[in-house]
Structure 1
Amino acid sequence: MIFVLVIFLSSILAASVEAQSGKNFFEGKTITLFAGSSAGGGTDITARLIGRHMERYIPGNPRILVANKPGAGGMIAVNELYNRSKPDGLTMSTMNTGSLFGLATGNDALKFDLQKFIWVGQALDEAQTLYVRSATLYTSFEAIRKANKDGKQPKMGAQSLDHTSNVVVKIVEQILGLDFQVIPGYQGTPEILLDIERGALDGRSQGTGSLLGTRREWIEKRFIRLLVTSKNKRDSRLPEVPTIEELAPPGKKNLLSALYAAENIGRSIVLPPGVPVDRVKVLRDAFATMAQDPQFMKEADKIGLEVGLTRGEDMNRDIENTVRDKNLMEVYRKIMTAP
């Protein structure tokens, strides 16, 4: 009986020490958060916003430093996290929706198993807005359709073919029977915006919050024409812009379901496989508390970002269900391989 009691008390003590070690581990340390874009882009802005506020809620008050890892639509960042970072909880990364589309098409650039990442959470909505410069021939879908008949296509910038900046354009093409020329390979949003400004590109699809945070003046001065958003209902920040949901005929609704599922992981935060459970809990709890903090919400709103929390444990479950859905993954493949 005494032996059993000793074992019982020892297990309680061990559990207490383990839980405490998770809380104490981060004291005096620095956490690196990879941003899968160049400085000044929407992913970078999001990562820095999260870093500034999340560190206030991690026991031990560690610093969070953002490190830009641009390229391949954010995949360089997550490849490095998965393959080269120690699983100690001191390195995190942003995750882009392109990971799902790349997985569906067997993209060799993905050097990871998506289901093995540990999600910390998602705090911000990642709906997209497709727009063109007002000085082009393409200021409405009817104008684009007419230009297509004359053999002309709007030139749209994208980070990669797997990136949402291309995927939304591809979906709009298939829903409305239009033809765009997507030019991939940009390091990040700043480089695309520069080419739009100087007329080398006609437009792009960009996260709505990213657009408002980086080029709100383009909207105010009507430098660009907003054509459609990828939300399933009109965005209160841009109430005059129609949604893809409004434009899609019934036979195309499956494309929208695929898009919404992918956007659910946009600009989320992940850890590499193998991080101790107690440290994961500390980071997830800090992230969730941050997402409901009035200071965080006020700054996000000022930038133009829409707050909406999804906890990491829920994201891990949703990702697993999405990857296992063969029909959904086939829709992704068809979107990406359509001519």
Structure 2
Amino acid sequence: MTITIISARATGLALLGAVLAVPAGGALADAVSDFYKGNQVKVIVGGTAGGGYAPYSRMLQRHMGRHIPGKPQMVIQYMPGAGGLTATNFIANAAPKDGTVIGAVQRSVVRLGLFGGKRVAYDPRKLQWLGSLHQDVSVCVAWHSSPIKTIQDAFDRESVIGAISPNNDTGQFPLVLNNVLGTKFKIIFGYKGSSGITLAMERGEVAGRCGWSWESLKSQKGEWVRDKKVNVFVLLSLRKVPDLPGVPLATEFAKTEEQRKILEFIFAEQAMGKPFMLAAEVPKDRARALRAAFVETYKDKAALKEMADLGLEVIPMSGEEMDTFIAEQIATPAGIVNAAKKAMAVRGEKGGGKEKKRKKSE
């Protein structure tokens, strides 16, 4: 029989090594907790306080802090402009890169990044995604007294609709319908936020608007839906919703395979309807902690009750799921991406449609 003799010194060194090795993961967790304890995390929203992104951002601001190690205070800042590009560019370039800034950016951020251009100062491939809190279905609506009752009416006659800018869904989506399918929307740009367009609809300045999230419409103007003040005539999405069973998808009107692929590329982003992100340079351990806290927040019963009380659903997508989804979007053939970019260009006229900038005095 062989007897192995281990010296006390060797045993002591082994035990010491084990003790030093064990807290490595804990030390990382403690480092994250130590960083966030007493710190402040800012949620920067690429829209207005009255817009559709705001309530989801406020949900995060009110509930996520208790799920982050160190339980930091969370505050919110609204930074509208350029269809969400102002906020995205700021977070990617000028904001602190230490994990104290979360971007509540618009769902078009990946598509606009792929389109490129002088106003885009970020690479969507490098951003770190926390996830999304909703999977949107956007709609086009017309005021009840307007002649637009179905999407066919938008093909048959010119209809005036309001929009914020050509960089925002309210402008981009009707441009796509004009330039790809041949609708005859006369788009008036320059309204200040969603509230500006809704006021114009009530005044009769415009017949309607496109690029309005169905959930946001029900939350912001539920009485319009209840009292049939507006007519939803087309869905700008890849999926239908049970409470709008008779409303068609825009993709149903594609006449060619290319048209269908263009529309699918553009409307696929509805799946990441309320996205949240970090700058590329945020340390990985803090990014992982924030991702985990994001998941706990969309499972939080108090947070979900708050949203339910507002009449809003939470249909989440985790950071890992968003990574997969965005990789698929980025893999879209260049020809389709370029065609989609052209479809969102302001051309003056297409299929009878026109674009016009709203006068400040209006």
Same fold (TM over 0.5): yes
> Cα distance, 1:285 vs. partner?
0.9
The separation in 1 between residues aligned to 2:92 and 2:276, in whole angstroms, is 13
Residue in 1 that maps onto 2:5: none
Q: 1:184-333 maps to which residues of 2 (within 5 A)? A: 184-205=189-210, 206-249=212-255, 251=257, 252-325=259-332, 326-333=334-341
Determine if the alignment matches structure 1 residue 96 to structure 2 residue 106. yes
Amino acid at match of 1:18: L
Deviates more, 1:159-168 or 1:26-35: 159-168
Task: Quote the sequence identity (%).
Answer: 26
Amino acid at match of 1:19: A
Amino acid at match of 1:96: Q
Gap change, CA 1:10 and 1:184, over 3 Å in 2: farther
Which of 141, 155, 177 is the matching residue for 1:172?
177
Gap change, CA 1:131 and 1:256, over 3 Å in 2: same
The separation in 1 between residues aligned to 2:172 and 2:31, in whole angstroms, is 43
> Cα distance, 1:64 vs. partner?
1.9
SS in 1 for 2:133: strand
User: What stretches of structure 2 of length at least 5 have no aligned partner?
Assistant: 1-8, 351-362
> Cα distance, 1:315 vs. partner?
1.7
Residue in 2 that maps onto 1:150: none
- Given that 2:97 and 2:281 are in contact with CA atoms closer than 8 Å, whether structure 1 keeps it comes out as yes
- Given that 1:99 and 1:110 are in contact with CA atoms closer than 8 Å, whether structure 2 keeps it comes out as no
Give CA-to-partner distance per residue, 1:103-156, whole Å, 9 cap, x none.
Answer: 344332212122221111101122201101112222322333332xxxxx3222
Gap change, CA 1:24 and 1:240, over 3 Å in 2: farther
> What is the TM-score with the length of structure 2 in the denominator?
0.82
Residue in 2 that maps onto 1:42: 52
SS in 2 for 1:307: coil
The separation in 2 between residues aligned to 1:285 and 1:101, in whole angstroms, is 26
Gap change, CA 1:157 and 1:45, over 3 Å in 2: farther
Amino acid at match of 2:272: I
Gap change, CA 1:83 and 1:210, over 3 Å in 2: same
Give CA-to-partner distance per residue, 1:217-260, whole Å, 9 cap, x none.
Answer: 11112221111122333312433433334444563321332034
Gap change, CA 1:61 and 1:275, over 3 Å in 2: same
The separation in 2 between residues aligned to 1:184 and 1:294, in whole angstroms, is 40
Gap change, CA 1:231 and 1:98, over 3 Å in 2: closer
Gap change, CA 1:63 and 1:239, over 3 Å in 2: farther
SS in 1 for 2:149: coil
Amino acid at match of 2:287: V
RMSD over aligned CA atoms reads 2.7
Amino acid at match of 2:118: D
Gap change, CA 1:336 and 1:144, over 3 Å in 2: closer
Q: 1:45-124 maps to which residues of 2 (within 5 A)? A: 45-124=55-134
Gap change, CA 1:16 and 1:42, over 3 Å in 2: same
> What is the TM-score with the length of structure 1 in the denominator?
0.87
- Given that 2:68 and 2:293 are in contact with CA atoms closer than 8 Å, whether structure 1 keeps it comes out as yes
